[in-house]
Amino acid sequence: MGHGKSGATRDEPSGSATDVRWTAPKTDTDPVCGITVQTRNSKSAVHDGHVYYFCSRECRERFEAAPASYLATTDAVIPDMREQADG
C-alpha cells in the first residue's frame, strides 16, 4: 500500500498550481499598429500582468517605451445619462 503511481510527491501534491497551464489565444491585436497577429509566431511583452502580442520587434519596442500611450484608459469620464435627460 502507498505505492501508487499518481505522480504526486510530498512537496508537490496532485492538483497543485503547477498543473495549471495558460494557453494564448490563436490571434490578438497588436496594440501599437492594430494589426491582427497570429500569437504563435508573434513577439510578446508583459505589462501590468497582461500579455500583449506584436507584429514586429519594432512595435514591441515602441510599446515597451511608452505602454500607457497604446492602452485604452478606463479613467474616461462617462456622462451621466440622468443629467442629460433632465437638461
Percentage of the chain beyond pLDDT 70 is: 62
List CB contacts of 44: < 8 A, sequence separation 6 or more. 51, 52, 53, 54, 60
Closest CA to 31 of 22, 42, 23: 42
Q: State the Rg of the chain over Cα.
A: 22
2-6, 14-18, 36-40 — most confident range: 36-40
pLDDT in tens, 30-67: 999 999 999 998 999 999 999 999 999 999 999 999 99
Position 60 scores a pLDDT of 97
Section 1-17 average pLDDT:
54
Count of CA atoms in the C-beta half-sphere (13 A) of 46: 2
